[in-house]
Every structure is written in C-alpha cells, then in structure tokens.
A and B are shown apart, each in its own frame.
Chain A
Amino acid sequence: MLKMTQRLAFLSIVVAFTTIIIIPMARAQDSSNQELAQVLRELSQQIQDIKKEHAAALQTMQREIDALKAQLQQQAAQTTLPSTVTTVTTVTGVPAAAAISTASRDDDEQELYAAIKSSAAAMLPATPVPGVDLDASVIIDGFYHYDSHKLGVSHLKNSLAGFSHAHDQDDAGHDHEHSVIEDGFNLRHLELGLSAAVDPYFTAWTTLAFDDHASEVEEAVIQSSSLPWGLTLSAGKIKSGIGRMNHQHSHNWDFFDQPLVYDALFGDHGLTDKGLQLTWLAPTPFHFLIGAEAFQGNHETVANYLGSDPFPRHNGPRLLTSFLKFGPQLDEQHALQFGLSYVQGRHQEEEDHDGHTHYFNGYNRIYGADVVYKYDAKRPHGHGDVVLQGEFFHRQRDLELLNNGQDYNNSQDGYYLQALYGFKPRWRVGARWEQLGVTNDVHDVHDGKLSYCASNRASAMLDWKLSEFSLLRMQTTNGNFATAHGREDFWEFIMQLQISIGKHAAHDF
C-alpha cells in the first residue's frame, strides 16, 4: 500500500512538473501543441490505471484485516473464557494463565473506569457552576391575629407588674411601633438573609428585617473559619449565644411568639448587640462549648446607657456575657443539651415622677439555665419526634438612685417549659407553659419594697410543614397577667403562614 502511494505521489509530481515546464514551452512553440496533448492524454490514462489498481489492493487488504480480527477475537474468547477442559488439563499453563489474567485485569479496571468516566462526562449538565456562593434567602411571615383583651395583648405585655419599662402607664408600648400587633391581618417582617464565605479566613452573614415602618439590621456577623484549637471568633452585630432561644430567628421558633421571659428581660429581638464573641469547643468525648462575649452595651432592658449628666460616663464594652453548653453522648435517637448563661450589663434609667426625675445607675445581672431534649423517631418528616425544652432566667437589678445615693435592688425571674410532638409526618402539636415573676421583688422609690404576683401564660400550637419551605401554624394562648391595674385575663388566637425562598435552610439543633 505504501509503495502504491509513493508511486502515485511520484507520478503526480512528474505530471505537475511537466505541466509547469510544458505550458510555457507550449506557449512559445505552438507547433508542438498536438504532441504535448498526446503526452498528457497518455499520462492521465496511466494515472487512472494506477488508481484502479490502488483501490483493488485496498479492498483485499481490508478483507485480510477483517479475517485477522475475527481470528483474534476467537483467540481472546478462548483465553478469557477458557472451557473447563483447557483449564483442567495443562498443568504448566495454569500459573502462566493466572499471570496473564492478573495483568489484563488491571487493564480491565483501567478500561472500566475510562468507560465510566466518558459516559459520566456526557451526563453532566451543560450549565456552568455559579462562581460565587452568595446564598440569599427571604422569609415572609404573615399572620391573622385575634385577642380578647380590649387594649390588646401587645399593650398588656408592656405593663406587666414589675417589668413595665416605665412606671407611668401612658409611656408604655410606644417605643416599638413595629411590634404592635393589630387584630386582623399582619405581616411580621420580611427577613432577608445573605451569607457567604469571605475568603479562607472568614465567613459572614447578615439578616435584615423590613416592615412597613422600619428596617433593621438583626444580625451582621463576621466569623472566623480558620482559628485553631476549636476556637471561633465572631465580630459584628451578634445575637448572643446565651440561653437556648436567644440566637434563633423568629422563623425558627417552635411557637408563634417568643416566651414572656425573653420579652421581659431581653426585649423583642432578644439580646443582640455590637461586639465580639469567642467560643471554644472543648476536645472532650462529649459536646462541651464555652463562650464569652463583650458587647458595646446599648440594650434597652439589659444595658441601657444614657451617659449624660448626672449619669457617669462608661466606655464600651458595657455588656459582658458568658455561657456554656454541655451535651452528653447518647444513642442515635436521643439528644440532650444543658446550658448555663451569665449576663452582666451596666444599666442606667431615668424616671419622671410628678414633676421631678429619678436617676438610677448600676448593674443588671442575669443568670440563666436551659435544657433541651430531642427524640428522633427515625420516621419521615418528623413523625413521632419529641422535643422537650425549658429555660429559666433570674435577673438581679442593683441600681443606685443618684439623687440620694440609696440602693434599689430588684430580684425577678421567669421560665417556660414546652413540649412538641410530631403526630403525623409534617404535623406537630405543641404545648407551652410560662410564668414570669415567680420571684418578683421590686424596690419602688415611692412605694418601697413590693412583691408582685407572677404572670402566667399557656399556649397550644399546631403546625404543618407543607414542605421544607412553607409552614402553616395555628396557636391559641390563654394569658393571666399581673399588671399595675390588677390581673388581666385574655385569649389570643393566631393563624400563621410562613415561607422561605432562596437558600435551603440548615436543620440546626
């Protein structure tokens, strides 16, 4: 075949050259045209003949190749699929065959993976993977609310005996325009969450809350992702790690509202402030986490700062916390976590009383304990799961009346206990019992030392997670609150629809 091609090439070159040489000659000598035409005709005839020979030779070679292939296949089949007779007979052949087969089996592995790789590559989608991982999510939380009290429950919450922000009832409830719930349709707030890895050293996330009246940065956290020894440092506006529920956003609550003790001690948004948080996950065989936080101290109920005359000036951080979490290793279906918290904040208050003002300066100290137990029934969509949870907080408020140097010590507490049960896939029922002010000893400037009664609240909840991203909830609450005007009893009914779009939410503990 090679020879044939060479000849063909040689002839073509000869023809080309003769043409190149002959054509100018032909122009010069018109008389020799006919002779030349004859030569050319002969040459083309020769080329045609060679082409025919070439094609015939190729065909025979192809036939030979096919025959050889068939022979090889037969041989291969004989070596890889040896009949029982051949393997048994030749004694010397056995080790040789084994050696061949191991060598070829390594090749077989290579071939298998190559084949799979090419088929897998063909199956991948054509769309490119997005380059930057900015995860966004939006939570819309709307609800229908009805309560049986003529002033409304939001108003009552701000006038709880011993916990009202000001002793003067008229001032209560107007600080948080956006927290007032109307009877009828309400939109809690629109929560926009953004998160991403910053670089190899930090991750960051922010949660922004919007409603008709205001917008607010709920959280803006820069968190280290590369510190050694189980340490994590966070900076920014942080939801404190104290307690069980404090760091949870409202869409992660198991009930429509947060417990009364949170409302009273930490306000609508819990203990959130600007500062630093350092946590350490200990190298213990059980879960053990210790955290400490230093916050600026601009928090209405825990670390209120006025700072102008007659109040002493204090630089931040004015609010310090520490907490620990302990979780024993239980078997797969059970999880238990205990937590202890301590909060200490510099606190300043001024109160107007019949034409004169009282200036208080001192500390809030809050001690907390929490426990959560989860039972995982290992059935789909939370069917059979149980969650038991409780938290207790005690607040010691020690203030000095700057007008006369007298000490005012308040000692108050509150707790809640709740239970949830998944009675069907995606359906949960829950109950919660709360008391605020079991100890409710308040020292009043005019009335002296008082001991108020506790406020009680009981709630029943039913929720249905239609999917990972939508939730429908009903809640009924009966409250019996101790207020400055005596006990107030009320019923509350809530129907809530909450959805999330965007990033798939994490199933945190």
Chain B
Amino acid sequence: MKYPAFLIVAAFLCTALASALARAEAQAIRIVATTTDLADITRAICGDLAIVTSITTGQEDPHALSAKPGYVVSARDADLWIRIGMELEIGWEGPILRDSRNRRIQVGAPGHLDASTNVIRLDVPTQAITRAMGDVHPMGNPHYWLDPLNGRIVAKTITDKLCDLHPQHQDAFQQNLRNFQNDLDEHMFGQTLVARFGGAKLWRFLNDGTLKPQLAAADLGAGDGWYGLLEPYAGSYVVTYHRSWIYLLERFNLPVLAEMEPLPGVPPSGRHLAKLAQDMRDKQVRVILQEPFYNRKAADLLAKRSPATVLVRANACGGSAEATSYLAMLDSVIRGLHNALSNDTPQP
C-alpha cells in the first residue's frame, strides 16, 4: 500500500500549490464560448469585465472537433458557457460539460447560454429527416453567425444574459452593446446611412425587403457599407463547398446555385461536379466560395470549366490572417465576394 499512499500525498501537494497559483488570478467573470465568433462578440460586450476564451480556433471544422483535457479545464472554471447551439457542438459539448463537473454551466443552468435562442434560422426541416440525407441538422442550419443581423441579435442575447447574471455591470454591458451594434451597423450600411436612419430601422427595412424602395424614395444610394458593396450584384448565383454560407449569401440576396458536396458532409463526386459545372456555365456563376480547411481541388476543377473564380475565406474569426475579429471576418468575405463579382475579365 506504500505506492498509492505516496501517489495521493503527491497529488494533494501538487493540487494545493497549483490552486493557490490559480486563486491569484483576477476575480473577473470567466466565460467560455464554443466558437471564436461568439467569444469575439462576448468580448465586445464585456470589455475588461470578463476573461473570455473559446474552444475552437476558427481554423477547424467545428462539427468534427473532439474533447480534450484542456477544454475540460477551461469549462471547469467558467461562470458562463455560450454555445452556437442547433447541434453544431453535438460531438463534443456533452463530454466537456460532463467532465468539467461545473454545475453552473450545465445545460439548463443559468450559466449555460444557447446563442441561437433568438436568431433567424434557415433550412429548418419541415419533415422528418434521416441520416441518408447526410449531415442535416434537425434544428436548422447552424451557421447562423454569418448573417450580420444574427450577429447583432446574438450580441443582444448575450447582453441580456450578462445583465441577468451580473446586474451591477448592466450599464457597462448596455453601453458596450450599443457601441458594438453601431460598429456593426456602420460596417453594414456605412456611416452616412446609419447617422441618418439609425441602424435598427435600416435592419428592419432590409429584413422585410423594403430598404431598397425606401432608399430610392429618399433619393439615397445604397451606402458605402457591405450592403452598398453587394447590392449591385443582388441575384447573382454563388456556388459553395458546404452549405455553410447560406446565411450570409441570403442576407445579400446572392442565391446559392448548389453546393459542391452532393449531400451535406459527403465529399464532392466527379459526376456531381460535372453537372454542377454545366449549371454554372448556364447561370454564369462568378464565385465559388469555400472555407480554407476544405480541399481546393474540386473548386479549382469547377473554376476551369466555368466562368467562376475560387474565393477561399474563413467562416470564423481566427480562421485566417485577416479574420482578426467577427466583423473583420465578415468584412473579408464580403469584400472578397465584391471583388470576385465585380471582376469583369472574361474567364475561359
């Protein structure tokens, strides 16, 4: 019995030392967001009031991540856990939360926030799905953060939760939310339009489809934001690798012709690509959009056989050098789309 006794004593000593070190850290609110975009938005709301970390780095496919001891340590200390939801984290959230033994952040506890609560959802199945359809999410397409309006809604959802949990800081959270919303609105519509209309009004008009006639009636252009950049190309078809860009493209009225994957999560097949290339020629598709972590071969093949160019952009903050924040990530995608769509040089 000498051996286990030594083991347990050594363990306790290590622990005491390490936990003393850990205590020395600030008493800030500790938040773990599952993705970098959620973390970035949360940081914008919290300012210096919280230490925010994320599980993903933005470089990987968030579906396929697996639990690691380090994630368990982050979750163990968290006061608030924020997830994308809609089953994006289905493979790894469960083991991390279970192994963290942190009762504050278990599903259903006040410290567990599903950021999808109020967002606008797309691709919600209207009939029973089976796995023969590929990776179809029964609660709808979970890549909703790529719609800037959903980013705005998520910021509000997070602010409401933070105000509930830490009412003593609510003025700061609310002010930070207004700043974030204003920043996002100015990116979207440009400073001039936001100063005149107010962001919320512009979003409401855009969401119910009346923004264009309203602006025309007021004798105004589309502004110098993202909306103004892509508005002239509304209706242009785009091809994507995975069905992950639908929220962004629908927001800017750029319909998705098809995905390179024949079914969600199923790699592109030659036959599917051949048909897609034909459709792309017919519809004069100018852009093929995909994430950096997917293989480019299929996209390059399509680009050769159609007038389209390949646009590789990270769909999460941290996924590329330009994507330093949530807004910078969106900016990089939207400017990329604008460049690809406005490129007039004829393609072979």
Residues of A within 8 A of B (CB): 77, 80-82, 101, 104-105, 108-109, 111-113, 115-117, 119-120, 123-126, 203, 225-228, 230-232, 281-288, 290, 322, 324-325, 327, 329-330, 332, 335, 337, 340, 342, 344, 367, 374, 376, 378-382, 425, 467-469, 501, 504-509
Please, which residue of chain A has its CB at the minimum distance from the CB of B54? A332
Q: Is B35 an interface residue (CB 8 A)?
A: no
CA distance A191 to B200 in the complex (A): 54
Which residues from chain A contact B294 at a C-beta distance below 8 Å? 380
Residues of B within 8 A of A101 (CB): 198
B104: min CB distance to chain A, Å: 11
Inter-subunit contact A342/B126 (CB<8 Å): no
Q: Does B90 contact A (CB under 8 A)?
A: yes
A425 touches B200 (CB 8 A): no
Partner of B18, one of A284, A425, A469: A284
Summarize A's interface: helix, strand, loop or mixed. mixed
The stretch that binds A, out of B92-100, B272-280, B303-311, B330-338, is: B92-100
Contact A285 B204 (CB under 8 A): no
Measured in the bound complex, the distance between the Cα atoms of B119 and A4 in whole Å is 50
Contacts between the two chains (Cβ within 8 Å), count: 183
Q: Which stretch in B58-66, B229-237, B252-260 binds the other chain?
A: B58-66
Q: How far is the CB of B99 from chain A (nearest CB, A)?
A: 7
Binary interface profile of B, 4-26, with partner A (CB < 8 Å = 1, else 0)? Answer: 10011001001100110110000
Could you name 30 residue pairs across A and B whose Cβ atoms are closer than 8 Å?
A81-B196, A104-B198, A105-B200, A112-B201, A112-B204, A113-B153, A115-B204, A115-B207, A123-B140, A225-B103, A225-B106, A227-B101, A281-B99, A284-B15, A284-B19, A285-B21, A285-B73, A286-B73, A288-B11, A290-B8, A327-B70, A327-B73, A342-B7, A376-B60, A379-B60, A425-B267, A507-B65, A507-B91, A507-B95, A509-B69
A322 to B9, CA, bound (A): 13
How far apart sit A425 and B7, CA to CA, in the bound complex (Å)?
A: 41
Q: How far is the CA of A380 from the CA of B264 in the complex (A)?
A: 13
Q: Is B218 an interface residue (CB 8 A)?
A: yes
Contact A329 B73, CB 8 Å, known A322-B7, A469-B131, A509-B67: yes
Partner of A330, one of B70, B196, B265, B267: B70
Q: Which of B99, B118, B294 has the most CB of A within 10 A?
A: B99
Q: Which of A77, A115, A226, A285 contacts B103 (CB 8 A)?
A: A226
User: A119 and B131: CB pair below 8 A?
Assistant: no
Chain B residues, Cβ within 8 Å of A509 = 66-69, 95
Question: Which chain A residue shows the least CB distance to B61?
Answer: A380
Q: Do B66 and A508 have beta carbons less than 8 Å apart?
A: yes
Closest beta carbon of chain A to B20's beta carbon, Å: 10
Judged by a CB distance under 8 angstroms, whether B43 is at the interface is no
Q: State the CA gap A508–B208 with chains docked (Å).
A: 44
Which residues of chain B in 107-149 are interfacial with respect to chain A, using CB atoms and an 8 Å cutoff?
A: 118-122, 124-126, 131, 135, 140, 149
Identify which of A108, A367, A506 contacts B95 (C-beta below 8 A): A506
A378 is contacted by which of B7, B57, B98, B99 (Cβ under 8 Å)? Answer: B57
- Residues in B with CB closer than 8 Å to A116 are 118, 120, 149, 153, 207
A80–B201 touching, CB < 8 Å: yes
Given A287-B72, A509-B69, output 19 extra A-B contacts at Cβ < 8 Å: A81-B197, A109-B200, A111-B200, A112-B200, A125-B125, A282-B18, A283-B15, A322-B4, A324-B7, A340-B7, A344-B1, A378-B60, A378-B293, A380-B294, A467-B135, A468-B265, A505-B91, A506-B94, A508-B67
Q: A108-B198, A125-B126, A285-B73 are in contact. Are A113 and B118 (CB under 8 A)?
A: yes
- Give the distance in Å from the alpha carbon of A355 to the alpha carbon of B87 in the complex: 65
